[in-house]
C-alpha cells in the first residue's frame, strides 16, 4: 500500500494543497510574469478561485533564492510594511494580498512603485510586486497609473472547469485509495470553486469514516444534501454571529431589515462579488432596500462594526459588495433565511421602500428639517432630505422624483406643517401626492402652528412643536418633543 496520508493532508482547506493542486488554464502565463524581474503582476478573480494558492505554488516551483514576503491588507503590521516597501523602494519579491482593501492613497503609491519597476524592466532594483485582489483590481490599478498597462502582467483566474474539478477529486481519491461514486455532483455543487471542492470532498470522506488512506480500496456514495447540511453546520459557529450582526444593521429595529434583504439577495447570486447598482436595477423586489443603504448606510455599518468589516467588503465609490471568504459565501447561500429572520428579531417581511422617512417642509424650516434628518441618520434610519440627494438626481426633473418619493418610495412621510407649507409651491406639490396616504396612517404631521390644510383631518394625531431658530436650545426641544416620539413610532 502507498504511504498512509491523513484526509486533511489530501483534501486541504488551508494552505497550498500538496496532492490535489490543479493548475488553472493560464498557469504558465502567470509563471512567466512572476519569474520576470521587476515586472508587476496582478491576479484578479472572485473568491475561491485559488489566486493566492497559485502564486504560492509558482514561487515554490521557481525554487530561486529570491526571498518572498506575503503581505495582506487584513493585517495591520503588514500594511505598515507595505507602506515602507513602496516608500523606500525596497528590493525583493512582495505578494500584496487583498489589494482592494487598502486605502486609496496607498493603492496609488503601490501603482507608482509598480510603474517605476515596469519602466526599469530587468534592470529594476526596487520591489517585484505581485498584487492580488477581487475582480477589476487590474483595471482599477491601471486607471490610477494608465501608462503601466502594457508592462504589467494582468491575469484573471476563473473558477475551475469540470475537467479541473474531476482531476482534483481523482488525485485525492487515489491518495486515499478510494473511489467517490457520483463524483460529478461535486462539480455541480461547487461550480469550480477549488476551496469548496476540497471542503466537500473532505466532508464526504469523513462521513464515510475515511480519515486516512484506506487499507483496502473503498467505494463511497454520498447524498449531496446531507453533505451540504454538514458543511453548513460546521461553519455556523464561525460565521453566524457576523451574519446576524450584518443583517441587524448599525442600530437594530424590528422593521429595519434592508441589510437582511441585501444579503439574502447576494446569497442567491452565482458570484460573491456584486455591483449594487446593477443588482438594484435587475431585482425590483429589493431595489428599495439596496438603494436605501448603498450610498451611505452600508459604509457606515462597515466602519462601526469590526466583525462585519472583517467578513464583508464594500466600496462605496464603485458600489461593489463582496464576500471574499468562499466558506462564508457557501454558508450564506444555504442559510435558513426564515430562521435567521426570526433570530434577528425582525417582524414579518414588509414592503420594500427606498426610504423609511421622507421629510416634507418649507424652506423657512430647513434648519429643523436638516436636524431631524441628521438625527434619523445617526439612528440608522434612512430618510429623504432633498439637499442630501441633489447629486443623485442631476439631470432629472425634481417634480417626477418628488412625486415618486412622497407617494410610494417612502414608508412614512414626515411633514412640517405651518403657514409656509400651505403657501409654497413645492410643499403644496408634495402635499398633493402624500395626502392620499393619510388613510394608511403613513403620514406623520408635525404642527408648527395652527394652519389648517385641506385633506388633513384636524383630529389626526401628530406632534406639536414651536420652532424658533433663534432660541438657544431649540435642538434639545426637538430631540425631546420630536425625535423621541418619532423613534418610538418607527420601532413599534
Host H or E run for residue 245? helix 224-248
Q: What is the reported pLDDT for 137?
A: 66
Q: How far apart are CA 37 and CA 40, in angstroms?
A: 9
β-strands 41-44, 355-360: how paired? unpaired
DSSP 6: B
Q: Does domain 27-156 have CATH number 3.10.105.10?
A: no
Q: Take residue 269 and report the three cell numbers written for it.
A: 447570486
The distance from CA 184 to its chain's CA centroid, rounded to whole angstroms, is 31
Domain spans of the chain, in order of start: 7-13+161-222, 27-156, 232-344, 355-491
Q: What is the pLDDT tens value at each position of the chain, 492 positions in all?
A: 568 999 999 999 888 898 999 888 899 999 999 998 888 998 988 777 788 889 999 999 898 878 899 999 989 999 999 999 999 999 889 999 988 888 889 988 988 888 888 777 666 678 999 999 886 766 676 666 666 666 788 898 888 889 999 999 999 999 999 999 988 999 999 988 898 999 999 999 999 999 999 999 999 999 999 999 999 999 999 999 999 999 999 888 888 899 999 999 999 998 888 999 999 999 988 888 898 899 889 999 999 999 999 999 998 888 999 998 889 999 999 999 999 999 999 887 777 788 889 999 999 999 999 999 999 988 888 899 987 655 454 445 567 888 889 998 899 999 999 999 999 998 999 999 999 999 989 999 999 999 999 888 888 999 999 999 888 899 999 999 999 998 888 876
The reply to whether 355-491 shares the fold of 27-156 is: yes
Q: Which residues make beta-bridge pairs with 42?
A: 131, 154
Q: What is the reported pLDDT for 15?
A: 81
Q: How far apart are CA 179 and CA 169, in angstroms?
A: 9
Count of other CB atoms within 10 angstroms of residue 36: 15
Q: What is the reported pLDDT for 393?
A: 47
For residues 73 and 99, the answer to whether their CB atoms sit within 8 Å is: yes
Q: What is the reported pLDDT for 206?
A: 95
Q: How far apart are CA 319 and CA 299, in angstroms?
A: 10
Q: Does domain 355-491 have CATH number 3.40.50.10140?
A: yes
> How many helical (H) and strand (E) elements, i.e. helices and strands, does the chain have?
23, 15
For residues 423 and 454, the answer to whether their CB atoms sit within 8 Å is: no
CA distances to 99, 106, 205, 318 from 127, in Å: 16, 15, 44, 29
Q: Which residues make beta-bridge pairs with 95?
A: 70, 130
Amino acid at each position: 500500500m502507498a504511504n498512509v496520508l491523513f484526509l486533511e493532508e489530501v483534501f486541504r482547506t488551508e494552505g497550498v494543497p500538496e496532492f490535489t493542486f490543479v493548475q488553472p488554464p493560464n498557469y504558465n502565463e502567470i509563471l512567466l510574469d512572476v519569474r520576470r524581474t521587476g515586472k508587476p503582476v496582478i491576479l484578479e478573480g472572485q473568491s475561491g478561485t485559488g489566486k493566492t494558492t497559485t502564486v504560492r505554488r509558482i514561487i515554490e516551483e521557481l525554487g530561486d533564492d529570491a526571498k518572498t514576503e506575503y503581505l495582506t491588507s487584513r493585517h495591520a503590521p503588514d500594511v505598515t510594511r507595505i507602506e515602507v516597501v513602496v516608500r523606500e523602494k525596497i528590493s525583493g519579491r512582495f505578494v500584496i494580498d487583498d489589494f482592494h482593501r487598502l486605502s486609496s492613497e496607498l493603492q496609488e503609491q503601490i501603482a507608482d512603485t509598480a510603474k517605476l519597476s515596469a519602466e526599469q524592466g530587468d534592470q529594476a532594483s526596487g520591489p517585484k510586486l505581485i498584487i492580488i485582489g477581487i475582480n477589476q483590481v487590474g483595471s482599477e490599478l491601471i486607471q490610477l497609473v494608465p501608462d503601466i498597462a502594457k508592462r504589467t502582467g494582468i491575469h484573471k483566474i476563473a473558477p475551475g472547469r469540470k475537467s479541473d474539478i474531476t482531476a482534483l477529486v481523482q488525485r485525492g481519491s487515489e491518495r486515499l485509495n478510494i473511489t467517490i461514486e457520483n463524483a460529478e455532483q461535486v462539480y455541480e455543487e461547487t461550480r469550480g470553486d477549488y476551496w469548496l471542492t476540497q471542503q466537500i470532498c473532505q466532508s464526504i470522506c469523513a462521513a464515510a469514516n475515511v480519515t486516512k488512506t484506506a487499507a483496502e480500496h473503498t467505494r463511497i456514495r454520498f447524498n449531496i444534501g446531507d453533505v451540504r447540511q454538514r458543511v453548513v453546520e460546521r461553519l455556523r459557529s464561525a460565521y453566524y454571529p457576523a451574519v446576524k450582526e450584518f443583517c441587524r444593521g448599525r442600530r437594530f429595529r424590528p422593521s429595519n431589515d434592508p441589510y437582511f434583504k441585501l444579503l439574502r439577495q447576494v446569497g442567491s447570486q452565482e458570484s460573491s462579488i456584486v455591483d449594487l447598482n446593477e443588482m438594484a436595477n435587475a431585482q425590483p423586489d429589493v431595489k428599495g432596500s439596496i438603494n436605501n443603504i448603498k450610498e451611505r448606510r452600508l459604509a457606515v455599518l462597515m466602519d462601526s462594526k469590526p466583525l462585519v468589516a472583517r467578513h464583508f467588503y464594500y466600496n462605496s465609490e464603485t458600489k461593489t459588495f463582496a464576500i471574499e471568504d468562499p466558506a462564508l459565501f457557501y454558508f450564506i447561500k444555504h442559510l435558513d433565511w426564515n430562521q435567521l429572520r426570526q433570530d434577528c428579531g425582525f417582524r414579518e417581511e414588509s414592503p420594500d421602500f427606498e426610504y423609511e422617512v421622507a421629510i416634507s417642509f418649507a424652506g423657512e424650516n430647513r434648519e429643523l428639517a436638516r436636524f431631524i434628518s441628521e438625527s434619523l441618520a445617526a439612528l440608522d434610519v434612512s430618510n429623504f432630505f432633498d439637499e442630501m440627494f441633489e447629486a443623485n438626481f442631476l439631470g432629472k426633473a425634481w417634480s417626477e422624483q418628488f412625486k415618486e418619493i412622497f407617494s410610494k418610495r417612502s414608508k412614512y412621510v414626515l411633514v412640517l406643517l405651518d403657514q409656509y407649507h400651505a403657501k409654497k409651491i413645492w410643499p403644496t406639490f408634495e402635499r398633493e401626492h402624500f395626502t392620499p396616504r393619510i388613510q394608511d396612517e403613513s403620514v406623520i404631521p408635525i404642527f408648527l402652528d395652527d394652519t389648517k390644510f385641506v385633506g388633513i383631518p384636524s383630529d389626526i394625531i401628530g406632534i406639536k412643536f414651536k420652532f424658533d431658530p433663534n432660541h438657544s436650545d431649540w435642538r434639545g426641544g426637538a430631540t425631546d418633543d420630536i425625535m423621541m416620539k418619532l423613534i418610538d413610532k418607527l420601532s413599534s
